[in-house]
């Protein structure tokens, strides 16, 4: 509120601070949207090569290729979104108790446990997936949504657990103790005091798990294909082969659920934060 009353009179004269601000924001915008402009241009390019600064011919023929009825782009996109949402749900369900325990309760080998969660991200996956696929073939999980979700969860858990641990650790223990002293039970305290305070961190980790799932293609291929097809596989094939148009279009398609998910999470967050302010 103070900011508003502050800026009202100054709106009339030129705010000199806009000069450095504008330059910095402009540079940042160039750094961020320059490469993105490239992506957008390639998505509608028919022909583009040296020495032409901009595409020679625009069109949507590659969109037709991506969306051709047999290409299953929409089915893959739907699969990817379902898997991502499930991966977020499972990861959070596992990470919230684990994070709380790691942050608050005395655990033997705590450091080692945290390190273990990091291994799926840290160790190159290709040699491991053969063994994972073999295991899944044996127990019939190959070619199922559940199988793909589990693979994505193993990768997402490092974000979920580490961030949840940090979020719970950052909460003042005295707040919980205060709740307990006025008669709240441990579960009630957790639900009404601890969880809401950790929510911003948990939601951020949800976004990362979601994005991680939408980026993943090696595990999706070994465990999902050919029955469960995922959009990032198409993205990978096109991208690695230098098919800029198809890769750009696929990336734009994946942008929709990613940005959408973040907006939903943010709306949820904002309402939550506001309600706490009003209390």
Partner 1 sequence: MKTLLQATTLALALGVMPASAAELTVVTAGDQNMVDYINEYLGPLFEKQYPGNTVRAVGTGPGDAGSQKITERFEAQAKAGSEKWDTDVAVVHEKFAGPMVQAGYLEAYRPNIETGKLVTRANADMALGTKVSGYVMPMFNSQTALAYNPALVANPPKSYEELVAWAKEHPKQFGYNGIKGGASGVSFVMGWIYAFGGSDAAKLMNGPFEEAEIKKWDGAFASLKEFTQNATLTPGNAGTLDLLSRGEIAIGPVWVDMFYSWQADGRMPPEIKLVLPAPGMPGQPMHYVIPAKAANKDLAEKFVALATSPKVQGEGIVKRFNWYPGIDAKYVQPELDEASWNKLFTDIEPEDLAAKGKTFPIAPYNNAILEAYERQAAN
Partner 2 sequence: MSKRLLGLILVLPALAVIVLLFLVPLAASVVGAFVADGRYGLANFEKAFALYTQDIIFTVVIVSFSTFIIGALSTAIAGYLTLGENPRAVAILRWLYRWPMFIPFIVVGQVLRTFLAKNGLMNNMLIGAGLITPMQASGMLDWRGIVIAFVWKQTPFVTLLLAGAMASLDRGTIEAARNLGASRLRILLEIVLPQVATTLVVGLILSFVTMMSVLSVPLMINAQSPTMITADIAFRINAYGDYGVANALGLISLGVTACVAWIYLRQTMKERA
Residue 208 interface partner, choices partner 1, partner 2, none, CB cut-off 5-8 Å depending on type = partner 2
For partner 2, which stretch binds (CB under 8 A), given 62-70, 81-89, 177-185, 257-265?
Answer: 257-265
For partner 2, the binding residue among 37, 178, 264, 274 (CB under 8 A) is 37
CA-to-CA distance for 60 and 62, rounded, in angstroms? 5
Helix H or strand E segment including 271: helix 244-278
243 in contact with partner 1 (CB under 8 A): yes
CA-to-CA distance for 134 and 58, rounded, in angstroms? 46
Residues 6+ apart with CB under 8 A from 152: 83, 84, 87, 209, 212, 213, 216, 219, 220
Helix H or strand E segment including 52: none
We find the least distance from the C-beta atom of residue 50 to partner 1, in angstroms, to be 4
89 in contact with partner 2 (CB under 8 A): no
143 in contact with partner 1 (CB under 8 A): yes
57 in contact with partner 1 (CB under 8 A): yes
For partner 1, the binding residue among 131, 177, 188, 275 (CB under 8 A) is 131
For partner 2, which stretch binds (CB under 8 A), given 28-36, 61-69, 71-79, 176-184?
Answer: 28-36
229 in contact with partner 1 (CB under 8 A): yes
44 in contact with partner 2 (CB under 8 A): no
Whose Cβ is closer to partner 1: residue 46's or residue 266's? 46
Chain centroid, CA 45 distance in Å: 28
**Each residue of 213-252: b (16+ CB within 10 Å) or e?**
bbbbbbbbbbbbeeebbbbbbbbbebbeeebbbbbbbbbe
CA-to-CA distance for 115 and 198, rounded, in angstroms? 22
Question: 98, 164 in Cβ contact below 8 A?
Answer: yes
146 in contact with partner 2 (CB under 8 A): no
233 in contact with partner 1 (CB under 8 A): yes
Distance between the two ends of the chain, CA-based, in angstroms?
Answer: 18
Helix, strand, coil shares of the chain, percent, nearest 5, are 80, 0, 20
Please confirm whether the linkage preceding 226 is cis (ω < 30° from 0): yes
260 in contact with partner 1 (CB under 8 A): no
For partner 2, which stretch binds (CB under 8 A), given 63-71, 79-87, 173-181, 198-206?
Answer: 198-206
For partner 1, which stretch binds (CB under 8 A), given 41-49, 96-104, 144-152, 180-188?
Answer: 41-49
Question: 206, 88 in Cβ contact below 8 A?
Answer: yes
For partner 1, the binding residue among 39, 41, 44, 48 (CB under 8 A) is 48
115 in contact with partner 2 (CB under 8 A): yes
User: Could you tell me how many residues of this chain bind partner 1 (CB under 8 A)?
Assistant: 44
We find the least distance from the C-beta atom of residue 31 to partner 1, in angstroms, to be 21
CA-to-CA distance for 248 and 257, rounded, in angstroms? 15
We find the least distance from the C-beta atom of residue 188 to partner 2, in angstroms, to be 17
7 in contact with partner 2 (CB under 8 A): yes
């Amino acid at each position: 509120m103070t900011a508003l009353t502050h800026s009202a009179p100054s709106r009339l004269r030129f705010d000199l601070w806009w000069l450095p601000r504008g330059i910095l924001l402009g540079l940042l915008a160039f750094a961020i949207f320059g490469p993105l402009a490239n992506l957008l241009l390639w998505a509608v390019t028919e022909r583009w090569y040296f020495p032409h600064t901009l595409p020679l011919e625009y069109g949507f023929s590659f969109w037709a290729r991506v969306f051709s009825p047999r290409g299953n782009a929409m089915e893959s996109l739907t699969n990817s979104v379902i898997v991502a949402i499930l991966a977020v749900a499972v990861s959070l369900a596992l990470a919230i108790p684990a994070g709380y325990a790691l942050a608050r309760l005395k655990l033997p080998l705590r450091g080692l446990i945290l390190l273990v969660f990091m291994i799926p991200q840290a160790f190159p996956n290709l040699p491991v997936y053969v063994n994972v696929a073999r295991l899944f073939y044996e127990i019939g999980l190959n070619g199922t949504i559940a199988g793909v979700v589990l693979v994505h969860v193993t990768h997402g858990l490092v974000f979920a657990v580490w961030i949840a641990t940090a979020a719970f650790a950052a909460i003042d223990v005295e707040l919980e103790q205060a709740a307990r002293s006025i008669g709240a039970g441990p579960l009630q305290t957790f639900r009404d005091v601890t969880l809401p305070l950790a929510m911003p961190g948990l939601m951020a980790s949800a976004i990362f798990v979601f994005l991680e799932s939408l980026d993943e293609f090696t595990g999706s291929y070994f465990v999902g294909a050919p029955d469960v097809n995922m959009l990032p596989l198409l993205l990978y094939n096109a991208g690695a082969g230098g098919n800029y148009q198809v890769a750009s279009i696929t990336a734009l398609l994946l942008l929709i659920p990613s940005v959408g998910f973040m907006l939903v999470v943010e709306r949820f967050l904002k309402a939550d934060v506001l309600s706490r302010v009003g209390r």
